[in-house]
Amino acid sequence: MSADLLELRGIHKSFSRGFRKRVDALQGVDLRVSAGEARIITIAGESGSGKSTLGMLALGFLAPDAGEVRFRGQDVGQLRGRSLREFRRSVQAIFQNPFSAFNPFYPVDHVLRLTLRNFAPQQDRAGVEASISEALSALHLDPAAILGKHPHQLSGGQLQRVMLARAFLLRPELIIADEPVSMIDASLRAVVLANMLELKERHGISQLYITHDLSTARQISDRILILYRGRVVEAGSMDHVLDAPQHPYTQLLIQAIPQPDPTKRWQAPLDWQRGEAAAETAEMDGGCPFYSRCPQRMDRCLAAVPPLYATPANTQAACYLHEPESTSTA
């Protein structure tokens, strides 16, 4: 029935932290990756927004407290045997720190060979070599310059691209990339991002790009979800959200990004509220999670968490400023 490759619906996830303390990492998040045309979807948010937890749930590494994660219509938590294996092959992951993803005692080839041994044990030696060369070449890496090298001999950018090659070996349908370029020097980032874009455009691989960095997201993604304290506050096409942000949080976030141009300096201090204790308590009691910092807050925001409303800019924003007129009297 479902045409979705991956669907997360009504996801809640909490972690206990010490005695009787709980952190609500995700509080009712929906996300769909369609099985049709490949897309790169950015999940953006600051630390603690729940973006990495969302990635872990999509990978099936964590189970939701409430809601469901479905892969081709099947509950990921129920997958067993052959279908679980197929899910593991189809959905690959790249993480933040490429330096810790490799065993320092082995050449970087090791992780590529291991992957093939696990997923394609029938391949003979020549087949393995051909697959590896092909995957590295797809990422514009020269096999001769990579194979046989130990991790410390390669740059962070090269290591991350070898991780992309590892994922590409399995011809996945979806790659979940959690901050894949944030530990890589700026001058080498562009190549990794270009690789990601090419995996989508030439090889039809969809990606969830989890990041705090809207500027790099702009370069490669089609859609974006902005998370704040475990909830989606704004969602839409990349260009709509970044060109005309509708949620006060997205607006602040974009204003805070420095422009790489000394002639376009910040003119006035950022207009934001310093979270007062009273306002934060109000949030705890079920109001908008952004209330304490919002420059446009209203009393209305304390009553209940705003749902996602359609905005005039073709995005969805969880803010009462966008509540349709007819229902606002309720």
Give contact residues for other proteins (rule: CB under 8 A): 46-47, 140-141, 155, 157-158, 185-191, 193-195, 197-198, 212-216, 218-220, 239, 242-243, 252-263, 265-266, 269-270, 272, 274-275, 293
Q: What is the 3-state secondary structure (H, E, C) of the chain?
A: CCCEEEEEEEEEEEEECCCCCEEEEEEEEEEEEECCCCCEEEEECCCCCCHHHHHHHHCCCCCCCEEEEEECCEEHHHCCHHHHHHHHHHEEEECCCHHHCCCCCCCCHHHHHHHHHHHCCCCCHHHHHHHHHHHHHHCCCCHHHHCCCCHHHCCHHHHHHHHHHHHHHCCCCEEEEECCCCCCCHHHHHHHHHHHHHHHHCCCCEEEEEECCHHHHHHHCCEEEEEECCEEEEEEEHHHHHHCCCCHHHHHHHHHCCCCCCCCCCCCCCCCCCCCHHHHHHHHCCCCCCHHHCCCCCHHHHCCCCCCEECCCCCEECCHHHCCHHHCCC
Q: Backbone phi, then psi, for 16, in 5-degree steps?
A: -85, 145
Least distance from C-beta 208 to other proteins, angstroms? 19
109-119 helix and 156-169 helix, angle to the nearest 10 degrees:
10
Least distance from C-beta 115 to other proteins, angstroms? 22
Residues sharing a CB contact under 8 Å with residue 139, sequence separation 6 or more, in sequence order: 161, 162, 164, 165, 168, 195
Apex CA 271: angle with CA 181 and CA 238, to 5°? 40
Q: Give the residue with the Cβ less far from other proteins, 17 or 274.
A: 274
Least distance from C-beta 63 to other proteins, angstroms? 28
Q: Give the residue with the Cβ less far from other proteins, 116 or 253.
A: 253
Least distance from C-beta 93 to other proteins, angstroms? 21
Least distance from C-beta 254 to other proteins, angstroms? 7
Least distance from C-beta 297 to other proteins, angstroms? 16
Q: Give the residue with the Cβ less far from other proteins, 6 or 292.
A: 292
Least distance from C-beta 185 to other proteins, angstroms? 4
Least distance from C-beta 286 to other proteins, angstroms? 22
Q: Give the residue with the Cβ less far from other proteins, 85 or 140.
A: 140
Indicate the residue type of 192: V
Q: Give the residue with the Cβ less far from other proteins, 50 or 64.
A: 50
Least distance from C-beta 190 to other proteins, angstroms? 5
Q: Give the residue with the Cβ less far from other proteins, 133 or 219.
A: 219
Q: Give the residue with the Cβ less far from other proteins, 246 or 309.
A: 246
Q: Give the residue with the Cβ less far from other proteins, 121 or 258.
A: 258
Q: Give the residue with the Cβ less far from other proteins, 47 or 326.
A: 47
